[in-house]
Amino acid sequence: MIDQNAVQALLDKDAIRDLVLLYSRAIDRQDIELLRDLYTDDATDTHGDSFEGNAADYCEFIAGAFPHMPYSGHHVCNHLIAVDGDEAGGEVYALAWHLVPGRDGGRQEDFMAVRYIDNYRRCPDGKWRFSKRVVTYDFKLRRPFDGGGLLGQGATDPSYAINENALFARGRRT
């Protein structure tokens, strides 16, 4: 006999994992419309000492940072999720790399080991969204950067041309 509650919990956890991965994609591909779609209307976001407030303002804060970050990479590691009906909680370990302007006019590598402590909610459209996100910084490192690579992660990123599935499209989820 299949336990339908256990099956639903697995489906919910998988959808929440996609939500977390889409957050990384939204930030790293500089897709502000996707980012906005990942939060409930009443959501809050706290990013340590850099931002605390409602999610709509957080999205504007991030949009303002995009022109100054030629590279951003969020790499999700461990993700523990507890689902309780239409509500859930989670803790996400992640490594975050950013390339930012340095005080000397050059570039700096900004590396962090972070944990996202999340509350999730299933919305009336059936999609899971962040209702609260709190970031802790377990480790931070900033140093001069003299590397290279694909610096320009916005709308021209090759993933849009190669991955034609709707999951990888720019903008709000369909």
The answer to whether 34 and 22 are in contact (CB under 8 A) is yes
At 152, is the pLDDT very low, low, confident or very high (cuts 50, 70, 90)?
Answer: low
Q: What is the pLDDT of residue 1?
A: 83
Residue 154 scores a pLDDT above 80 = no
Q: What is the pLDDT of residue 151?
A: 57
Mean of all residue pLDDT scores within the chain: 93
Which of 164, 153, 163, 161 lies closest to 26, judged by CA?
Answer: 153
- Which structural domains are found in the chain, ordered by start? 4-168 (3.10.450.50)
Task: Please give the residue that has the higher pLDDT: either 174 or 43.
Answer: 43
Q: What is the pLDDT of residue 21?
A: 98
Task: Give the whole-angstrom CA distance, residue 145 versus residue 107.
Answer: 5
Stretch 52-58: mean pLDDT, rounded?
98
Task: Give the whole-angstrom CA distance, residue 68 versus residue 151.
Answer: 12
Residue 169 scores a pLDDT above 60 = yes
Task: Give the whole-angstrom CA distance, residue 73 versus residue 47.
Answer: 16
Backbone angles phi, psi at 169, to 5 degrees: -70, 155
Residue 153 scores a pLDDT above 90 = no
The predicted-structure confidence for 85-134, as pLDDT tens digits, reads as follows 999 999 999 999 999 998 888 899 999 999 999 999 999 999 999 999 99
Residue 80 scores a pLDDT above 80 = yes
Distance from the Cα of residue 17 to its chain's centroid = 11
Minimum mean pLDDT range among 6-20, 45-59, 142-156? 142-156
Task: Give the whole-angstrom CA distance, residue 94 versus residue 103.
Answer: 26
Which of 59, 111, 115, 121 lies closest to 89, judged by CA?
Answer: 121
Stretch 36-59: mean pLDDT, rounded?
97
Stretch 148-159: mean pLDDT, rounded?
70
The predicted-structure confidence for 22-42, as pLDDT tens digits, reads as follows 999 999 999 999 999 999 999
Sign of CA dihedral 20, 25, 30, 32: negative
